[in-house]
Amino acid sequence: MMRTFANPLARWGFAIIASILLMALFAQFIAPYDPDAINVKAILLEPSAIHWMGTDGLGRDVFSRMLFGAQISLLVGFVAVGISTIIGIILGAISGFYRGWVDTVIMRLVDVMLSIPTFFLILAVIAFLTPSIWNIMIVIGLTSWMGVTRLVRAEFLSLREREFVLSAKTLGAGDMRLIFKHLLPNSLTPIIVSTVLGIASAVLIESGLSFLGLGVQPPQASWGNILTDGKEYIQFAWWLSLFPGLAILLTVLGYNLLGEGLRDALDPRSNH
């Protein structure tokens, strides 16, 4: 952990992510207004001391909506990546440990999934489902496991012939013990890094889906649908596009910086 924070970029990434997480967790206490409260007397007001990020076309406070939108965006990121990581670990472990025809089948499935553009695959699936936050999380998770699978498989193939694994096998350790006690704990570095970077990708996908109207549905706020509102007033209500765009940019940047810092800190081959 100390090596992680020795990297200045990782410190910046952690500071950005920690700030966004704290604002999302305490949105109910920080938000000055009800994010869904319509005020016809305050339509499209510019940022001011009363409304820090202005108001939208229905007079709703953008700052309050941004805070609650952070909850949605980060929830989607964490849950979707959790689903994809679990699937990836299971398939990668089976593939790397048992090899043979099992490895061949799983890797060909990975190749097929990777040959399909992920965002368009998600769009196609979402189009047949009712747009909701739960459907988005599940679909993103079920279409984003391939990278973790390949990472875990590569680690297992590298570790399974090491002396400590062969010794455990000689002492009679079963397959599950070898996988969960000896191989998986020594494969966590790429999994952790991939998970952190995957959250950034999931936030981007959710924002894109919400922007297209296939994600989180109004009046529930997300950064993507706040951007959609801004599209209609972009010529004279710049704040509706600027603030959610910056939030998405900073979140993705923060996770990428943190992921790179973790990679440098946890990789024993690193020169840092």
Least confident interval from 161-170, 191-200, 260-269: 260-269
pLDDT of residue 253: 93
Contacts for 15 with CB less than 8 Å, ≥ 6 apart: 254
Q: Is the pLDDT of residue 111 over 90?
A: yes
pLDDT of residue 3: 57
| Overall pTM > 0.85 | yes
| 120: in domain | yes
Domain that holds residue 176: 62-256
| 264: in domain | no
Tell me how many helices (H) and strands (E) the chain has: 13, 0
Residue 2 pLDDT grade (very low, low, confident, very high; cuts 50, 70, 90): low
Tell me which of 214 and 247 has the higher pLDDT.
247
Least confident interval from 112-116, 121-125, 201-205, 245-249: 121-125
pLDDT of residue 272: 45
The two tokens of residue 110 are 């990975």
Sole residue written with tokens 């709703």: 60
Q: Is the pLDDT of residue 119 over 90?
A: no
49 CB-contact burial (10 Å; exposed 0-12 / middle 13-18 / buried 19+): exposed
User: At residue 237, what is the residue type?
Assistant: A
> How much of the chain exceeds pLDDT 70, in percent?
95
Contacts for 58 with CB less than 8 Å, ≥ 6 apart: 38, 39, 40, 43
How far is Cα 203 from Cα 196, in angstroms, rounded to an integer?
Answer: 11
pLDDT of residue 267: 65
Q: What is the 3-state secondary structure (H, E, C) of the chain?
A: CHHHHHCHHHHHHHHHHHHHHHHHHCHHHHCCCCCCCCCHHHCCCCCCCCCCCCECCCCCEHHHHHHHHHHHHHHHHHHHHHHHHHHHHHHHHHHHHHCHHHHHHHHHHHHHHHHCCHHHHHHHHHHCCCCCHHHHHHHHHHCCCHHHHHHHHHHHHHHCCCHHHHHHHHCCCCHHHHHHHHHCHHHHHHHHHHHHHHHHHHHHHHHHHHHCCCCCCCCCCCHHHHHHHHHHCCCCCCHHHHHHHHHHHHHHHHHHHHHHHHHHHHCCCCCC
Q: What's 82's domain CATH number?
A: 1.10.3720.10
Q: Is the pLDDT of residue 208 over 50?
A: yes
Average pLDDT over residues 165-175: 79
| 177: in domain | yes
| 265: in domain | no
| 73: in domain | yes
The pLDDT tens digits for 9-45 are 788 889 999 999 999 999 999 999 999 999 989 899 9
| 21: in domain | no
| 13: in domain | no
pLDDT of residue 134: 86
Contacts for 176 with CB less than 8 Å, ≥ 6 apart: none
Task: Please give the tally of structural domains in the chain.
Answer: 1
| 1: in domain | no
Least confident interval from 41-50, 189-198, 209-218, 254-263: 209-218
